[in-house]
Amino acid sequence: MGSPLRVWRLSTGLLLLVTVSVFSILVKLGLWQLDRAEYKQAWQTTLAERQAANALDYQSLLNLANNDPVTGYRLTVDTIAVSEQILLLDNQVHNGQVGYLAYQLVKVSESQPWLMVELGFVGANKDRRILPALTPMPNQPYELTGRVYQKQTNPLSEALYAETFSMNNHEVIRFQNLNLVALAEKVGHELAPAVLQPDVTPTMTLAKPWTPIPLSAQKHQGYALQWFTMAAVFLGLMLWIGFKTLKKSTHPITK
């Protein structure tokens, strides 16, 4: 067996290693949350500037979307519904209710990609075989004004997982991820790389959730505070344990 001094040195070294490692991890997590908060704050400012700017025309939107994210820009466009097909993005939540975001496709001209228009949120039935009864926009011209967005793809799964149903004389496609490239292949026509959420949807009054930033800068700042607090508490605890250990080693119990 090793001497008491050797054992004490080993235990002290291990305690120091654990303290430094865990403390460093907690502090890095806090700093990462602060970085995310700074990014989200800049993104919030960008969104506000885009909302205050003049609305884009359709070709300008397409040109921008080829190079940069376009979420938050406003768009005014003359369209016509290309079909009465309803598209349902599954597993959405609004005000605590699970449901779908409903969409319909419109065209601006024969030579341009079709535009996906969000109709709004609709609650889901507990029986997944029962789909919401929605009446699509009729095939006629519409002037639409609203904001555009691009949803982030799911890093774990980008597959469309589309299911097709026939309902009330029109087709319904239920899908799992807003993958516009895969969806374009499904409908057989090129789609614009962004979705329009119109201020007013003709013939419909569904809720229109707007969450371009799922976690706000304030949320990230709160998480950073939690990590820093945990780091401080952990450091204090380990210093107390180290002090008690040192005290025992310098004042051995005598019989």
What is the reported pTM?
A: 0.77
Residue length, the chain? Answer: 255
pLDDT, position 208: 92
Number of CB atoms found within 10 A of residue 188's CB: 6
Q: Which of 121, 116, 184 is nearest to 149 (CA)?
A: 116
pLDDT, position 55: 92
- Identify which has the larger pLDDT, 18 or 183: 183
DSSP state of 235: H
Helix 4-52, helix 217-250: angle, nearest 10: 170
CA distance 183 to 172: 13
Q: What is the largest CA-CA distance in the chain?
A: 98
- Identify which has the larger pLDDT, 38 or 114: 114
Q: Average pLDDT of the chain? A: 86
The Cα-based distances of 89 to 100, 209, 220 in angstroms read 5, 13, 28
